[in-house]
């Protein structure tokens, strides 16, 4: 998926259509590098665009744990707490989504949009209702290559992945923005905010 996306970014400006439209095209990483260089020379691809392409081609060389937010820095809501305590956590961390746990990060229930939490809170619901409105969590190994992780985020239509160790314990999280930062650098940084800010509103 990532290779085809990168290839499309190069071939479309050159008027070659999508990779799928090129019959039986099998594009290698080396070929994409050459295509990116040629596209940049011809002015069909900006230097920044070429940089993104080249960064994308090396994503597979890096592992998820290298860019993860470690568990010690992950804010979360918990079914073991009352609604007021969960509300306090939410107020202290201005994120659009937070993990929902049941007794700590090793017992992840799902991912909860803070707007949905506020709706339940305002309706005076208790914590038992939170698990019903949380999105299912997505897990992968902490050693997952970043290109595979990006494909997982795309396939699961999520912005939030939990990384686990060999024993199934949660080691941290990676968000879509964390991966994109590896491609194009910090996007809209919030000076001084922790990296977990990548869970802030994005739609």
Q: How far is CA 78 from CA 68, 90, 158, in A?
A: 21, 11, 21
Per-residue pLDDT tens listing for the chain (203 residues): 444 554 455 445 444 444 444 334 455 556 555 665 666 566 665 666 655 666 666 778 889 999 999 999 999 999 999 999 999 999 999 899 999 999 999 999 999 999 999 999 999 878 989 999 999 999 999 999 988 898 899 899 998 999 999 999 999 999 988 888 877 664 444 333 334 433 433 33
How far is residue 81's CA from residue 95's CA, in Å, rounded to a whole number?
19
Output helix, strand, coil percentages for the chain, rounded to the nearest 5: 50, 15, 35
Q: Kindly list the domain boundaries of the chain, sorted by start residue.
A: 2-57, 62-203
Q: How far is CA 149 from CA 31, 75, 82, 181, 188, in A?
A: 23, 22, 34, 14, 22
pLDDT value for 171: 97
How far is residue 107's CA from residue 99's CA, in Å, rounded to a whole number?
10
CB 97 within 8 A of CB 196: no
What pTM did the predictor assign? 0.69
Query: What's the burial of 62, exposed, middle or buried (CB within 10 Å: 0-12/13-18/19+)?
Result: middle
How far is residue 114's CA from residue 203's CA, in Å, rounded to a whole number?
12
Please tell me the class of the 62-203 domain.
Answer: alpha beta
pLDDT value for 194: 37
φ/ψ of residue 164, rounded to 5? -120, 155
CB 14 within 8 A of CB 22: no
Helix axes of 47-57 and 29-41: crossing angle, nearest 10 degrees: 170
pLDDT value for 201: 34
């Amino acid at each position: 998926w990532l290779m085809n996306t990168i290839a499309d970014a190069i071939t479309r400006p050159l008027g070659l259509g999508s990779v799928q439209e090129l019959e039986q095209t099998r594009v290698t990483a080396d070929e994409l590098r050459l295509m990116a260089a040629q596209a940049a020379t011809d002015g069909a691809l900006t230097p920044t665009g070429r940089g993104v392409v080249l960064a994308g081609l090396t994503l597979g060389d890096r592992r998820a744990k290298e860019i993860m937010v470690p568990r010690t820095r992950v804010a979360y809501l918990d079914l073991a707490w009352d609604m007021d305590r969960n509300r306090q956590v939410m107020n202290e961390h201005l994120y659009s989504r937070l993990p929902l746990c049941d007794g700590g990060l090793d017992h992840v229930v799902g991912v909860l949009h803070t707007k949905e939490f506020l709706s339940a809170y305002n309706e005076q619901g208790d914590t038992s209702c939170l698990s019903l409105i949380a999105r299912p969590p997505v897990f992968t190994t902490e050693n997952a290559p970043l290109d595979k992780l990006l494909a997982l985020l795309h396939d699961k239509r999520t912005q939030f992945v939990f990384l686990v160790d060999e024993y199934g314990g949660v080691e941290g999280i990676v968000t879509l923005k964390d991966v994109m930062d590896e491609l194009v650098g910090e996007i809209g940084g919030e000076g001084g905010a922790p990296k977990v800010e990548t869970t802030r509103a994005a739609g």
